[in-house]
Amino acid sequence: MAILYLCPGRESESWVAPLKRLLPNDEVWVWPEVPDPAKVEVVLAWKQPREELQRYPNLKLISSIGAGVEHLVEDPTLPRGVPIVRIVEDRLTIGMVEYVVLHVLKRHRWVQEMEANQRARIWKWLPPQDTPTTTVGILGMGALGGAAAAVLKQIGFRVIGWSRSPKSVPGIESFHGRGGLEPFLSQCAHVACLLPNTAETRGILNKATIAALPRGAHVINAGRGSAVVDADLLAALDSGHLSWASLDVFNTEPLPPDSPYWTHPRVTVTPHNAADSIADYVVPTIVENIERLRAGLPLKNVVDRDRGY
Ligand code: NDP
Ligand code: OXD
């Protein structure tokens, strides 16, 4: 079998080395060097060129090398019967939990105000905010959102979650579906968006839904930039309706130099590095799926193409 690493623009060596080590009897090729397309049975893909995946007549498995899969499910030329899997892995999850907790705590403990005061040599006591009565909402209670919710709960916050399907998570009030969105948002002092990029989630943080947040709320987005209508978010920051936005993902990446986010006084920009796929840890999970494929066992972390995630 040949395994093809098809991730244009990403370095390949850290992926190819563990693949070769764990699959010594298989060929591992790095696109665009494909000696025999008919031998390719597994593709590891990230932002692959459209139509490229049609070139492999014996393809049996497509694995994203990240948690997100919009680059795959939105490619209409993808061979229909081939399963798509994605990454759910502890290091990735820990990274996202750290990111969400970091940004919630920075606001909760007035870090931005205190840093500004330090720069101005101002000794100013700021009142502690009460943790158990501060509500953090998680938009997208999946692998990453669910883990962040659990840690925030453990710290002592009141945590609520919103997802597509109803959930029953002890200690976390759950909302679901379009009808549950505004009742959920209306309670959030902080809202962290960890939604995938799908037709249903695009623009979900817009003028109307942002207006449903309490005045002074803090928006965190580490899912996908497409969830946010930028003009509406900026207007809410400028009017004071939102106190801060912590943004790791953007409608255009890299964030263009003229984006108002760069210089906005109440925005924290990070360059889409909330959580990274680290090859040494992710490759074994992909290899497990390859072994399952060979053994005819059910695959793990299968994507539902129609749902889009
Ligand atoms: P999951 O598929 O495990 O979770 C997605 C969650 O979103 C689920 O709870 C799902 O609901 C919910 N959801 C999806 N569509 C809707 C909808 N229309 N309405 C309400 N809820 C919806 O994904 P992960 O947690 O693993 O990852 C989430 C996203 O995080 C990825 O898709 C990726 O875009 C992003 N990401 C960002 C990174 C970064 O560095 N910034 C790194 C890694 C991932 P339900 O549970 O009912 O299915
Ligand atoms: C992912 C990402 O989807 O890094 O894994 O954004």
For residues 42 and 20, what is the distance between their CA atoms, to the nearest angstrom? 14
What's the pLDDT score for residue 288?
Answer: 98
Task: For ligand 2, pick from 92, 93, 224, 247 the residue to mutate: most ligand atoms within 8 Å of CB.
Answer: 92
Which numbered ligand comes closest to the C-alpha of 96? 1
What's the pLDDT score for residue 90?
Answer: 98
pLDDT of 28-54, one tens digit each? 999 999 999 999 999 999 999 999 999
Q: Is the CB of 274 under 6 A from ligand 2?
A: no
pLDDT tier at 270, thresholds 50, 70, 90: very high
- From the alpha carbon of 141, which atom of ligand 1 is closest? 9
pLDDT tier at 105, thresholds 50, 70, 90: very high
Q: Looking at residues 57-67, what average pLDDT do you find?
A: 98
Phi and psi dihedrals of 274, rounded to 5?
A: -55, -45
pTM: 0.98
For residues 30 and 8, what is the distance between their CA atoms, to the nearest angstrom? 9
Q: Looking at residues 296-309, what average pLDDT do you find?
A: 97
Tell me how far the alpha carbon of residue 139 lies from the centroid of ligand 1, in angstroms. 8
pLDDT of 161-203, one tens digit each? 999 999 999 999 999 999 999 999 999 999 999 999 999 999 9
Q: Is the CB of 194 under 6 A from ligand 1?
A: yes
For residues 45 and 73, what is the distance between their CA atoms, to the nearest angstrom? 12
For 129, which DSSP code?
Answer: P
- The set of catalytic residues is 224, 272
For residues 281 and 248, what is the distance between their CA atoms, to the nearest angstrom? 22
Which whole-number Å values give the CA distances from 44 to 31, 196, 197, in the listed order? 10, 19, 19
What's the pLDDT score for residue 175?
Answer: 98
Residues linked to residue 191 through DSSP beta bridges, in sequence order: 137, 219
Q: Is the CB of 272 under 6 A from ligand 1?
A: yes
pLDDT tier at 299, thresholds 50, 70, 90: very high
Q: Looking at residues 120-125, what average pLDDT do you find?
A: 98
Mean model confidence pLDDT for the chain: 98
Residues linked to residue 158 through DSSP beta bridges, in sequence order: 135
Q: Whose CA is nearest to atom 2 of ligand 2?
A: 66
What's the pLDDT score for residue 61?
Answer: 98
Buried b (16+ CB within 10 A) or exposed e, 43-65: bbbbebeeebbeebeebbbbbbb
Q: Is the CB of 233 under 6 A from ligand 1?
A: no
Q: Where are the beta strands (DSSP E) in 129-208?
A: 135-139, 158-163, 173-176, 190-193
With 0-12 CB in 10 A as exposed, 13-18 as middle and 19+ as buried, what is 273? exposed
Q: Looking at residues 95-102, what average pLDDT do you find?
A: 99
pLDDT tier at 304, thresholds 50, 70, 90: very high
**Contact criterion met (CB below 8 Å) for 75 and 93:** no
What percent of the chain has pLDDT above 90?
Answer: 100
